[in-house]
Structures are given as C-alpha cells and as structure tokens.
Amino acid sequence: MRILVAGFEHETNTFAPSKAHYRNFLKGEGYPALRRGAELYELQEINLGAGGFIKAALSAGHELIPVVWGGASASAHVTTAAFEQIFGEIAEAARKHSYDSVFINLHGAMVTEAHDDGEGEILARLRSIIGSDVPLVASLDLHANVTAKMIDLADGLIAYQTYPHLDMADTGAKVLELLHEYRVSPTPWFKTFSRLPFLIPINGMCTLVDPARRVYERLRELQKGDVISLSFAPGFPAADFPECGPTVWGYGRDRHAVEDAVSTLVDMIVAEEKNWRVDFLSPRDAVEQAMRITADARKPVVISDTQDNPGAGGDGNTTGMLKALLDCGAANAAIGVFYDPAAFEAAREAGVGTDITIALGGTSDVEGDSPLCGTFHVDFIGDGTCTFEGPMFHGNKVDLGGVACLRIAGVSIVVSPTKAQMFDRVLYRIAGIEPETKSILVNKSSVHFRADFTEIAAAIIVAKAPGPMKADPDDLPWTRLAEGMRTSPMGPAFSSLISED
C-alpha cells in the first residue's frame, strides 16, 4: 500500500488556565518536537502511535507519505491558529498526493476554540478530501473522549490499553494490522459503540491495579474470532461538552459477536462502578505519611501532585505540595518539574552557589494557591536537554530550554522555563538530583510517572493539593455534560437545570 501518515495530538482540559498555541506544538513539551516529512521516520524508535505504525508499515514493505506529527502538553483549548496551521499541512498533503489509505495518530480528547470535537473535525475534513472509498484509520489515547462522529467517519480506531501508556507504539502497529484486515475483508465490517453513564477520575484508570487491570484482561479475552478489535477508553474527565466520558467500541465480521463483546465489557465496567472511585490525601497528610514510611525505608516515597499535572492541564507551578514539605520539616526531598520562567532566569543570572530571594510559582489563579516567597540556594544550572530512559517515552529527546535546581530548607526543586510532566527519572538528573537517593519525591504527574518510578518507590501516595486539574470530576463546574451523566463513580447526575441555577 501507499499510506499517508500524520499525527496531531492534544488532550484538552477546558477548565485549565492556559491554551495550546502553535509554539507549544513546536516544542513538544514532553512529546517529541514537531516533525515534518522524512523527520517522521525518527519516531520509529519512540513509544508513540505514529512510531509503531511507521515501523510496522516499513517492515511490511509499504510506501509511506509522511506529512507532519505534532503533540503538546495537555492544556486548555487548542487555538484556532494552531489547529488550522497543523491540520492545514495534513489537508494540503491529502489533496496533493495519491495513496491507498490514510493513518493519523490522534489523541481523541482535543477541544479547539472553534470545535468541541477536535478529532471529529479532523476526520470529517479528511473524509471530505479523500472520499468514502479510501480507508481512514487512527490510533487513540486511552483518555480519548470518543464521539459518535469519530466512530462514524473512521474505518478503524484503536485505543491504548495501558496507563501509564507503555503500548502506544504497539497500538500503532495494531492499527496497521487492522488496516490489513479491512482491505482483505470480503464483506463489510460491523461496528458497535457504547457510552458509559459515569466519569472516571484519571487516578482510577491506572492499569497496573484493579479495576482497570481486570477490565483490560477481560477485553483481551473477548477480542477473538469474529471480534477483530475491541477498545475501551475511560476518557478524559475534564472536557466540558456532551460527549465527554468513557466509551467502548469494537469491529467484527459478525454483528452479534461484536455487539455481545461490547455489551459484556460495558456490563463489567458498570458492575465495577464503586471500585473506580479514588481516595485522596491532603498535602499535609501525604507528607506526614511519607515521612513515617521513610523512617524505616531505604527507598524514596513518591507523592503524586496530581492536581497540578501538566499532562492533564496543569501548568506545573502550584505551591501546595512544596509548602506542605516545608511546613512538615521534610528533609532530603525533591519536587519537579516546576514551571517558572522568571525563577529560572533569576537563578541563571545569579549563578550556581548563590542565594536568590524570589516569589516562586503560585500563579495558577486557583483558590488556595499562592506564591512561595523565600530565599533559595542555586545548586545547579543546566541546558535542560535529555533523552528519556524510562519505558514510557524511551528514546525521546527533550529540550526544556534550561533547568535549575533551587534548594530551600530540606527541599530541592527542579525549575524550568518549559512545562513538562514528570514522566521520567532523567528529569531529576538533568537538574543534578539523583532521585534514588532522596527520601521523598513529589512528582507533578498523575499516573504516567509510575512507569519509571514504581521500581524505586517504597510507596506511592496521591495528594490533592490546590491545582487546576481537579482529580475528582465532582469538583469541576460542569455546564455542558450529557444529561444524567454521573460526574464520578456513584456520584451525582449532571443536570443542566441544576447547573443553570
């Protein structure tokens, strides 16, 4: 086959403080920087849907037309300018070239300034260009808010099955297998799509533990025979539009087989509803518990600062967990990655070994968050470049545009002028911190950090400090959810009448 290949990924938190501009996709912000043309071949060894698809397609002898791949850290809406510029390149290539099929690496939870359903808009525009006879397939994130429009317009969609997302490249390869099946199928496929009635907190979606682990094991058991592909996307519970939420869908050669598989999985997820809930600790309780554990442990305790996760819409600049570490007198602790361009610049200008008095972070405009004013010692200044070594984005080259290590009392802080989720232990090392030697690590991440930190952790604790990414969807000011959608497992049902009141 001759296959057009592109990628455009963004997870949109419509309640977040900062939008995604074109410059954010240029940097990547933890994703690879934007790639064009033959540069997409560089993604082959990176754990991405596009990387897995490209590697598998080349191995199978297909000819590729690589166009553009761009991703940016989760935030509020993708600006119209950014959306039109990146998709414009995809559309231009789709009009210019001839090909047998189209693959696009999507996230599934993109909201733009103009479109609630960013991926639905992408697929609709592509379909209008390529026509109804050219197969259109895509990989999706596990956190996709899959819409009826997406299911209708694509010939095949497959979502990741792991969180942390260790199978992104594998999913891309599966999409190629799905495309092969589609092209050789003597009869049309049947597809079935179902929406679940409650939102799931992102911390509850981790596939290393139940109930998500059990559900995905069952999914793989059901995916056999006439059921060609089955996907469950728990969704991204911070996008205020009617189709936000968990979904299950599948493709099959036999209508009853695929309908039964989807129905069986939906019934299992609903039966587990109460088990999808998550308990959170306050910042002080989390630090005190960590200090008790470290008294007898030889490994660090890792605390998730989940409500300031840059991978879910936070900016990485809230101070709640930092203040709790200081208030509790925590020693040999570290926190990162802290996004504060002004603080980084002050440290860079002052130089290593100096003290600087600044107001650090606290600019989220979230109730309960405020700057930390104090004197910090500059322990380290670096260029912020690294290659991820952990399993999540192994091999991905990252440039944060600089990094500093600021120390106050017993706490070392990784500060950068670029937003980045704490995916990988190397993000501590590039600031001169060896994470394995610390007693407490506070990661501005929700779940992805577990891929690289679990093996060195004496315990993992989830804390709920003030931040823009509400860990409990019940806490969000919903206005446009589907009527009757429960805003958390076993939680209240959304009503537009109550919202208007």
75 Cβ neighbours under 8 A, 6+ residues apart = 10, 12, 13, 16, 18, 19, 20, 24, 313
3-state SS assignment for residue 295: coil
Cα–Cα nearest to 444, from 467, 411, 474: 467
Domains and CATH numbers, the chain: 1-184 (3.40.50.2300), 186-278+471-501 (no CATH), 283-470 (no CATH)
Q: Mean pLDDT lowest for which of 31-35, 118-122, 233-237, 288-292?
A: 31-35
**Residue 497's pLDDT is what?**
82
Say if residue 383's pLDDT is above 70. Answer: yes
Share of the chain above pLDDT 90, in %: 93
pLDDT of residue 499: 61
User: Is residue 162 within 8 Å of 142, Cβ to Cβ?
Assistant: yes
Encode pLDDT of 39-56 as tens digits.
Answer: 999 999 999 999 999 999
Mean pLDDT of the 434-461 span:
97
User: pLDDT at position 17, please?
Assistant: 87
> CA-to-CA distance for 296 and 458, rounded, in angstroms?
10
What confidence tens digit (pLDDT) does each residue in 463-480 have? Answer: 999 998 899 999 999 999
Query: How many CB atoms neighbour CB 38 within 10 A?
Result: 9
- Report the pLDDT value the prediction gives residue 187, as an integer from 0 to 100: 82
Q: What pLDDT does residue 318 have?
A: 97
* Arithmetic mean of pLDDT, 366-373: 96
Give which of 423, 457, 458, 426 is closest to 443, Cα–Cα: 423
Percent of the chain with pLDDT over 70: 99
**∠ at Cα 195 (191, 199), nearest 5°?**
150
**136-140 and 156-159: which strand pairing?**
parallel
Give pLDDT tens digits for 153-201.
999 999 999 999 999 999 999 999 999 999 998 888 999 999 999 999 9
Model-wide pTM > 0.85: yes
Phi, psi of 227, deg, nearest 5: -90, 100
Query: Region 354-372: what's the mean pLDDT?
Result: 96
User: What pLDDT is recorded for position 395?
Assistant: 86
Paired residues of 336 in beta bridges: 443
More confident site: 501 or 274: 274
SS3 483: coil
**Each residue of 250-278: b (16+ CB within 10 Å) or e?**
bbbbeeebbbbbbebbbebbeeebeebeb
Mean pLDDT for 102-121 is 98
Helix H or strand E segment including 250: strand 247-252
DSSP codes of every residue in 398-412: EE-S-EEEEEETTEE
- The confidence score (pLDDT) of residue 120 equals 98
Residue 501 has pLDDT above 60, yes or no: no
Q: What is the pLDDT of residues 116-151, one digit of tens each?
A: 999 999 999 999 999 999 999 999 999 999 999 999
- What pLDDT is recorded for position 202? 95
Please provide the size of the chain in residues.
501
